[in-house]
Amino acid sequence: MSENPLRDAIEEAIKENEVILFMKGTPEAPACGFSARTAAALQALNAPFAAVDILPDPRIRQELSALSGWPTIPQLFVKGELIGGCDIVMELYESGELAETLGVEPPADAPEPAASSTQSPPLGIENRLG
């Protein structure tokens, strides 16, 4: 054990879950448009994934970003490796690479993830919660 049990716990979670998404809120009740779109892309592919809500404790985000070198939330990890945030996940989803990375069948009609159908910018709700 190092002197940083929270960082150990995050590392452990990334190692133990093949697909893990760190997000604001939960997949059912996302608290940020970026997190919502990223979770929706995974759900559209029926990919099983673990989700961690980083909002309850600001230290989770600090430790996660220190660990990954990625400043923003959400962050998607597959097989222990950082795939990216919302922009990259959406690019990969649209190109079909996300299904490949996750090892799932791309949907035949490639529907847009539900949360991305609205083009409106994300609201600042995460500021109030964070």
Termini Cα distance of the chain: 29
Residue with smaller CB distance to another protein, 8 or 81:
81
Piece of the chain touching another protein by CB under 8 A; list 17-25, 38-46, 85-93, 109-117: 85-93
> Residue 77's closest CA among 2, 4, 8, 10?
10
Piece of the chain touching another protein by CB under 8 A; list 15-23, 41-49, 99-107, 117-125: 117-125
Task: Answer yes or no whether residue 83 interacts with another protein by CB under 8 A.
Answer: yes
Site for another protein in 19-38 (CB under 8 A): 34
- Tell me, what amino acid is at 13? A
Residue with smaller CB distance to another protein, 2 or 120:
120
55: CB partners within 8 A, 6+ apart? 24, 25, 31, 126, 129, 130
Task: Answer yes or no whether residue 124 interacts with another protein by CB under 8 A.
Answer: yes
Between CA 10 and CA 76, with CA 8 as vertex, the angle to 5 degrees is 20
Name the residues that contact another protein, by CB under 8 A.
Answer: 34, 61, 65, 69-72, 82-88, 91, 121-122, 124, 127
